[in-house]
Amino acid sequence: MVRLPQLLRSRPFRIVLLIAIGWVLGLTDLAMTLTYLMNIGLFEGNPLARWVIAMGSPAIVAGFKLATMVVSSSILFWQRRRWQAEIGAILAVIVLGKLTFQWFGYIDMSSDMTHAITIVAADPAQSDGLWATLR
């Protein structure tokens, strides 16, 4: 039987593990994004994400997110024997992990932002174009 320490010495295994972690974090981000977009709305700082959200469809938002995840993880998997892919996978998990912690902060601050959310929900022009919603 192969033990975990032996598996962790294998770069392809480490990359596949990092890809799996990235998928969990990415799907969590997608779930939180859709939850907020379809219920309350949210401040979105990413202009590409605002453009996709502006198309007005949860299916398009989910499809775009899933397509980017499939493409990026496929590239990393295809290159899984190279050290560059491992660095890329590590960076992806770091970025997605940071995004997850930003969600924790956003959720925590939501109660403090109730007044601001009410204002921009009534008049999105008050948010300098950062407010996004799907209704």
Reading the chain (135 residues) residue by residue, the pLDDT tens digits are 668 788 788 999 999 999 999 999 999 999 999 999 998 888 888 899 999 999 999 999 999 999 999 999 999 999 999 999 999 999 999 999 999 999 999 888 877 777 777 787 777 777 677 778 887
* Residue 132 backbone phi and psi in degrees, to 5: -135, 140
- In this structure, the number of other CB atoms found within 10 A of the CB of residue 52 comes to 20
Q: Which residue has the tokens 């859709």?
A: 34
Using the structure block, give the residue that is written with the tokens 């605002």.
50
Q: Please state the φ and ψ torsions of residue 42, each to the nearest 5 degrees.
A: -155, 160
Is the pTM higher than 0.75? The answer reads yes
Nearest to 135 by CA among 127, 124, 126: 124
